[in-house]
Amino acid sequence: MSLAGPPLPRQLHNDEKISPTKLAGVQYVIVLVLAVLVAGLWRLQVLGSDNWKVLAEANRIKKVPVLAPRGKIFDREGRLLVDNYPSVTCYLLPEQLHDPNVDLPLIAKGLHLTVAQIQTILNRYKGAAKYQPIPLKQDVTPDEEAFIEAHRNELPELETHDEQRRLYPRDGFAAHLIGYVGEVSEAMLNNDSRYAFYSPGDVVGQSGVEQTYDALLRGTDGSRDILVNSHGKEVGLHGQEMAIPGKDLRLTIDLDIQRAAEKALDGKNGAIVAMDPHTGEILAMVSRPAFDPNQFAVRLTRSYWNEILNNPDHPLMNKAIQAQLAPGSTFKIIMSAAGLQENVAQDMHVVCNGGADFYGHYFKCDVHHGMVNIDNAIPYSCDTFYYTLANRLGIDTIARYANEFGLGQRTGVDLPEEALGTVPSTMWALKNFHRKWYAGETISVGIGQGAVTVTPIQMARAIGGIASGGVMHRPHLVFPDEVPADVFTSLSENHPGSGEKTVPLTAANWETITDGMAQTVQPGAFHTAAAARLDGIDFAGKTGTADVVGGRVKNSSDKRTIPNAWFVGVAPRRNPDIVVAVLWEHGYWGNNSARLAAQIVNAFVTKQRRLANNLRLAEAPKAAPAPDTTPTASNAAPHVPAAE
């Protein structure tokens, strides 16, 4: 019996062998894969070791920005005007925010905010990098800081930074000339090349010298590298880059003169500019009503913003450089210079019987002055004389001299958004209204009404220049030699103006004008500012009473119908050391503003005498009362007719 089983299938009898070629191919593939893996490991472990080390360090090092403190601001004698104070700001780290629905209500409660406010802030920084800290709240209180620390593990997205905040003078003191700071807006980042290198959250100057000299004041930010553990808690300092503080700024402002100007305009609306005509240095600048720049130094509240935005008296407007109003009779100094230089006014003798007819219209003068010539026309402020002079000169001659003395153009003062004003002419009428200029319109321009408008700083520069023999300097708030050359060049380009110039005046004409201005503040039957006389001080000037739109309404309780009171004064009368321009909105007669200017001139002269050890003090006039609305021989001012 055979024990052999059934025969095996053929394929089991003949084992198939892998060809040497295939075997070699598989081996090469395996070697190649291993080589690639080895090369990758070598690249990671050797070539990329430094890079991975940096990334690993980044996992435990947090970069914290250190904001540079802004430069301080001083007056001309080194007295501090604007300082900084230590503050704490709470930031949110977007990359650490895991569940907004849970975290945001808790954060809002602890920081005394609303969820909507936080969402608005987050939306503003939506396009920013995830690692960029977002400022949630400035000037964090001690209890809010304690809340952040107590919830460090629960809310790792919150952190606090120590910063320096602006501290401005109280009660809006010098607010318009100093300005304020605030976070750079999205519109500024998108539309203004000056902010091309800024980031959301950066603090920049928004107005005044804070804006003009922001590049000098802001400094360069630094940073600190903080060691943190796996929970984000700080455990040490790895390194730091020191912040470079901003440059301190010394203004031309004299704190004593500024105080006198602030006091003079207290409770009134308008502006005051005091300037040294020899150099163009601004000694004081006030605009009222004012605002509190400290409100802008931290996050501005909506209620305060609405309050100042809806104020009809425009507290944000720097009226010293932006109020464009009819100058009234202060313009008669420009008219006098034009008439004398053109050899028209010297031989003019006009009989004033309370007005005169021109082109079929009667133009009124409030007082019957009798015989008037150029010697008494300025102290009398006789409208009839200047109506006649304007008619003889013609509008284009008047415009030429007004432009020569810097009206209708910016002075170039180193402040943002200076206004131009308006000097009408035949070309002006054609360009703006596509019509001819009517001769009857010239009559009103002759007394500073009609279409002519000026700013207080323009009038200060023009009248100060005339009293200086026609020499006019560019007004400025910072000493040019303390500003780097490239910054000064940039300022000149960004603040164009008529600059330094001389308008030739003959010695005789110069003396006639300045003597007439001096007589204005001396006792006299028709002298318009006799009440502002300063004993022992060579004080000169010119009043102006400028009707507002709608004309002068007698016995009206609506202040909008009350004329604006102007005065521009100098001391001494020739080559003055100070010029003061005062605009008192709805102050009625110009002699009311003359009293305010006298207070400032008195403060200036008294200080100069004290510094020179000459203690002979001048007698200051009493504080200006409520506007005097009754014309008399001593305070009469012109009634202004509507232009034809």
Portion of the chain with pLDDT greater than 90, in percent = 53
Beta pairing class for 203-205 and 361-364: unpaired
| Answer CATH for 62-250 from 3.90.480.10, 3.90.1310.10, 3.30.70.141, 3.40.50.2000 | 3.90.1310.10
pLDDT for 240 beyond 90: no
Q: What is the DSSP letter of 281?
A: E
Stretch 16-39: mean pLDDT:
75
Query: Can you give the pLDDT at residue 567?
Result: 97
CA 278 to each of CA 72, 259, 401, 472, 497: distance values in angstroms, whole numbers, following the listed order:
27, 22, 21, 8, 18
Stretch 499-519: mean pLDDT:
94
- pLDDT tier at 97 (50, 70, 90 boundaries)? confident
Lowest mean pLDDT: which of 50-59, 95-104, 290-299?
Answer: 50-59
pLDDT for 411 beyond 90: yes
Query: Can you give the pLDDT at residue 398?
Result: 97
- pLDDT tier at 631 (50, 70, 90 boundaries)? very low
Query: Can you give the pLDDT at residue 212?
Result: 93
Residues in the chain: 644
> Considering the chain, what is the average pLDDT of its residues?
85
> 508: closest CA among 472, 462, 541, 469?
469
Tens-digit pLDDT profile for residues 255-307: 999 999 999 999 999 999 999 999 999 999 999 999 999 888 777 778 888 88
Lowest mean pLDDT: which of 9-18, 256-265, 587-596?
Answer: 9-18
Query: Can you give the pLDDT at residue 429?
Result: 96
Query: Can you give the pLDDT at residue 644?
Result: 29
pLDDT for 573 beyond 60: yes
- The Cα–Cα gap between 64 and 223 comes to 5
Question: Which of residues 591 and 29 earns the better pLDDT score?
Answer: 591
- Answer whether 181's CB lies under 8 Å from 296's CB: yes
**What residues contact 115, with CB distance under 8 A and at least 6 apart?**
104, 105, 108
Query: Can you give the pLDDT at residue 155?
Result: 87
Tens-digit pLDDT profile for residues 158-168: 888 888 889 99
pLDDT for 412 beyond 90: yes
pLDDT for 57 beyond 60: no
Stretch 76-103: mean pLDDT:
88
> 545: closest CA among 442, 631, 419?
631
pLDDT for 43 beyond 80: no
Quick one: CATH architecture of 255-290+318-611?
3-Layer(aba) Sandwich (3.40)
How many other CB atoms sit within 10 Å of the CB of residue 572? 16
Beta pairing class for 80-92 and 73-74: antiparallel
pLDDT for 630 beyond 50: no
- pLDDT tier at 316 (50, 70, 90 boundaries)? very high
Backbone angles phi, psi at 406, to 5 degrees: 90, 10
- The Cα–Cα gap between 433 and 64 comes to 59
pLDDT for 528 beyond 60: yes
Lowest mean pLDDT: which of 99-103, 192-196, 311-315?
Answer: 192-196
Tens-digit pLDDT profile for residues 122-155: 888 877 766 678 888 888 889 998 998 888 888 8
pTM for the full predicted model: 0.81
Query: Can you give the pLDDT at residue 368?
Result: 94
Query: Can you give the pLDDT at residue 620?
Result: 44
pLDDT for 516 beyond 60: yes
Lowest mean pLDDT: which of 302-316, 547-561, 601-615?
Answer: 547-561
Tens-digit pLDDT profile for residues 432-463: 999 999 999 999 999 999 999 999 999 999 99
* Domain limits, the chain: 62-250, 255-290+318-611
- The Cα–Cα gap between 150 and 164 comes to 24
3-state SS, residue 99? coil
Query: Can you give the pLDDT at residue 235?
Result: 64
Q: Does 255-290+318-611 match 62-250 at the fold level?
A: no
